[in-house]
Amino acid sequence: MNKLDTERQKEIQQAEELLFAGPQALGFAKGLFQGRFVADWVMPYPRIPAAQQTELDKSLAELRRFLDEHLNPVEIDRQADIPREVIDGLGRVGVLGATAPVEHGGLGFTQMANCKLLEEIGTRCASTSVFVNAHHSIGIRALLLFGTNSQKEKWLPRLVNGEQLGAFALTEREAGSDAANVQMQACPSADGSYFILNGEKRYITNAAIAQVLTVMARTPVPGSDKTAITAFLVTPDMPGFTILEARMPKMGIRGTATGRFTLRDVKVPKENILGPMGKGLKVALTVLDFGRTTFGACCTGAAKTCLRLAIEHARTRKQFNKTLGEFELVKKKIARIAAGAYAMEAMTTATASLIDRGLEDYMVETAMLKVFTTERLWEIINDTFQIYGGSAYFVDLPLERMLRDARINQIGEGSNEVLTSFIALVGMRGPGMEFKEIYDTMMKPSRDRMGKAWSAGKNRLGAAIRIPDVPVRSEQLHTTARQLGRLIWRFNFAVNRALITYREPILDMQLVQERIADAAMDLFASTCVLSRWDAELQFARRNGDSASADDSAADLFLRQSFRRIRRFLGELNDNDDKALLATAKSFLGKPSS
């Protein structure tokens, strides 16, 4: 292993150690990479407990009433502002503190219930859903997760009702995708009672309208010349806090206030540190896990709006003496939108439930959800746009706004490329370490190593010969479940083969990583769809209902998803990677140092 590879291995390991201490239960996604189907996390399909469902129904009804009467997405986009009365109303309904504990004024909702609220907002206005996400899903999340009791008592009550707003400030010029490269400095005062913060943040949603900002800055590591990231609560009334640009003019989600600010010798009391000193990266990454879950919910809402719009137009617009819906190429789009929206909802629900049920390590699933739902929504809006033809291009219909609004999704909260690579690398780490154990023992056998290598060998061999069982209750889904089990087995085989063939260089082979991550995402999405469909069939059977439109959407999704998985795995061996890389090299030239 060369020095660079060793460093990379160390970085991934450190990131995981930083996030999760001690042994944890095997999650669903990591299980897939081991050739296992960890059914308990995804089957039966999660349901909101009856008592909370009643509360949620009440909140949803109130939210819908409020949005019907007061939310005007066209004006929000045109004025590039969300009116204060909308923010106040969202606060009154409880959306701005839905998952905060009741004792601090929140609704005490689970992440699953919270996702339903965000989905509802997402069906109507992306500016508003991103605003709520920035405030609640990430802005005050660090306080909710890592705040001490006294910090929560002090800050939360006014944040959860919207009297005050929150923001999450990680991004800087040098720290975009490379989030660990934060340059903002936080130096302790001589007596240690406060920290002096210096630096600049950019692209921060709510920066200029927030009263409380979670800010990431570098603090010295005692006893060394190193620094580490720490999370601070910063308020704009602190001397030295300056907004450089309150609302950077932008393409989409124009109602949100995306800003830049600078901190010059800002004194922040040590009581404002969130979470342990030097563990700000853990804080940031955990916060983003929550953000990515509600991202999925907002995208699902927008996808449902597209489905409704596409059906309306396909049923009414006539050309060649036929409605558009009579043409197969339009039918193809409607079916694809319906299947995508069904899968997005299933995946969001299943991922949110992992958080609610206490799985500690869900970072691969939230990354999968974010990439899958944002990519699907982009295609879905494009399909809907196409069905509307020229009319979609004009501003009296919502589609041009939806298209502009959706483009940020593939970039924000971790660009999809970075997350795709992350999914593959974190997923492959488990089997990769097992192969390393076996290889090292073969090269340098020792009594110490034998035991570990034996158990690693047993795991790898077990996964190679055993097709995982996918337990569904509905008889009519048994064949599909068996197909999914076989695909997981094939996936594991492909992962093993890639690890053995490429060894350490795989850490930099993003084209290989992408196929593995894409296959894993479709396996997860298919599992969520199958689980949801199974639950719906069971429910219909108990009530004597017949087949619904959702059955066909689920069936189509699974067929297309299985086909994609086979293609991704096939392309691991049959591809144009060499030509692609050679072409890029000849155009890019040598990287500048």
Ligand X SMILES: Cc1cc2nc3c(=O)[nH]c(=O)nc-3n(C[C@H](O)[C@H](O)[C@H](O)COP(=O)(O)OP(=O)(O)OC[C@H]3O[C@@H](n4cnc5c(N)ncnc54)[C@H](O)[C@@H]3O)c2cc1C
Task: Kindly indicate which of the ranges 106-114, 199-207, 333-341, 352-360 contains the residues binding ligand X, using the contact rule CB under 6 A.
Answer: 199-207
| Closer of 86 and 507 to ligand X (Cβ) | 507
| Closer of 34 and 374 to ligand X (Cβ) | 374
Q: Please provide residue 470's backbone torsions phi and psi, each rounded to the nearest 5 degrees.
A: -110, 100
Place of tokens 């009263």: 211
At how many degrees (to 10) do helices 280-316 and 328-356 cross? 150
In sequence order, the 6+-apart residues with CB closer than 8 A to the CB of 338 are 307, 549, 552, 553, 556
> DSSP string covering 286-350, please?
HHHHHHHHHHHHHHHHHHHHHHHHHHHHHHH-EETTEEGGGSHHHHHHHHHHHHHHHHHHHHHHH
What's the min distance (Å) between Cβ of 141 and ligand X? 12
Interface with ligand X, residue 512, by CB under 6 A: no
Task: Kindly indicate which of the ranges 96-104, 165-173, 225-233, 375-383 contains the residues binding ligand X, using the contact rule CB under 6 A.
Answer: 165-173
Distance CA 370, CA 445 (A): 43
| Closer of 31 and 259 to ligand X (Cβ) | 259
Interface with ligand X, residue 421, by CB under 6 A: yes
Interface with ligand X, residue 134, by CB under 6 A: yes
- Mask: binding to ligand X, 222-251, rule CB under 6 A, as x and -? ----------------------------x-
135 burial (CB, 10 Å; 0-12 / 13-18 / 19+) is buried
At position 218, the amino acid (one-letter code) is R
Measured in whole angstroms, the distance separating CA 229 from the mean position of its chain's CA atoms is: 22
| Closer of 250 and 318 to ligand X (Cβ) | 250
| Closer of 424 and 481 to ligand X (Cβ) | 424
| Closer of 14 and 148 to ligand X (Cβ) | 14
Alpha helices by DSSP H, listed for 34-110, are 50-70, 73-79, 84-93
Distance CA 176, CA 229 (A): 15
The catalytically annotated residue of 365, 400, 413, 434 is 413
Residue of 205, 294, 305, 527 interacting with ligand X (CB under 6 A):
205
- Mask: binding to ligand X, 371-410, rule CB under 6 A, as x and -? -------------------------------------x--
Task: Kindly indicate which of the ranges 69-77, 200-208, 380-388, 565-573 contains the residues binding ligand X, using the contact rule CB under 6 A.
Answer: 200-208
Interface with ligand X: number of residues (CB under 6 A): 21
| Active site (annotated) includes residue 328 | no
Interface with ligand X, residue 258, by CB under 6 A: yes
Distance CA 297, CA 349 (A): 8
Interface with ligand X, residue 204, by CB under 6 A: yes
Residue of 45, 203, 261, 388 interacting with ligand X (CB under 6 A):
203
| Closer of 98 and 138 to ligand X (Cβ) | 138
What's the min distance (Å) between Cβ of 501 and ligand X? 22
- Mask: binding to ligand X, 167-186, rule CB under 6 A, as x and -? -xxxx----xx---------
Measured in whole angstroms, the distance separating CA 341 from the mean position of its chain's CA atoms is: 16
DSSP run (H or E) holding 151: helix 149-160
The residue among 68, 142, 65, 60 whose CA lies nearest residue 95 is 60
Residue of 53, 262, 415, 552 interacting with ligand X (CB under 6 A):
415
Q: Please provide residue 107's backbone torsions phi and psi, each rounded to the nearest 5 degrees.
A: -90, -10
Task: Kindly indicate which of the ranges 46-54, 309-317, 415-423, 529-537 contains the residues binding ligand X, using the contact rule CB under 6 A.
Answer: 415-423
Handedness of CA 156, 157, 160, 164 (dihedral sign): negative
What's the min distance (Å) between Cβ of 412 and ligand X? 5
| Closer of 415 and 474 to ligand X (Cβ) | 415
Instruction: Give me the residue whose beta carbon is nearest to ligand X.
Output: 176
At position 461, the amino acid (one-letter code) is L
Distance CA 70, CA 229 (A): 41
Give the chain's radius of gyration (CA, Å).
25
Q: Would you state the structure tokens that stand for residue 577, as one six-digit string?
A: 């990677």
Binding site for ligand X (CB under 6 A): 134, 168-171, 176-177, 203-205, 250, 253, 258, 408, 411-413, 415, 417-418, 421
Q: What amino acid positions are annotated as catalytic residues?
A: 413
